[in-house]
């Protein structure tokens, strides 16, 4: 995990900060998560890694965040890897 704190304005933009973190990253996948994101449960990252490992020719995958409508996580989530079936450039079906 690479934490990036820009409260002191070290980076001129979010893109600059994310590029800094991306260059430091090692591993098969890079995931950028904002500080206000809540992962569904403790096994979410492991489940997503297993899902991504099943995809052929994966380039970029993304999620679309949360809706303002709804009273809880289940009602507000949208575009989550666990419940959508499309990745940019590689449509698929997820279980």
Task: Tell if the pTM clears 0.75, that is, is over it.
Answer: no
Cβ–Cβ under 8 Å, residues 79 and 65:
yes
Where in the chain are the domains?
1-32, 41-91
Residue 71, CB-side half-sphere exposure with 13 Å CA sphere: 0
pLDDT in 10s for each residue of the chain, 95 residues: 899 999 999 999 988 998 999 999 998 888 888 777 777 778 888 888 888 888 888 777 766 666 677 787 677 766 555 544 433 333 344 33
Closest Cα to residue 55, out of 93, 84, 17?
93
Q: For residue range 16-42, what is the model confidence (pLDDT) as tens digits? A: 998 999 999 998 888 888 777 777 778
């Amino acid at each position: 995990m690479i934490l990036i704190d820009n409260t002191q304005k070290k980076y001129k933009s979010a893109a600059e900060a994310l590029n800094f973190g991306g260059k430091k990253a090692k591993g098969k996948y890079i995931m950028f998560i904002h500080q206000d994101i809540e992962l569904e449960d403790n096994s979410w990252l492991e489940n997503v890694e297993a899902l991504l490992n099943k995809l052929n020719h994966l380039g970029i995958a993304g999620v679309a965040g949360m809706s303002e409508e709804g009273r809880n996580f289940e009602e507000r989530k949208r575009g989550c890897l666990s419940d959508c079936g499309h990745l940019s450039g590689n449509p698929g079906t997820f279980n």
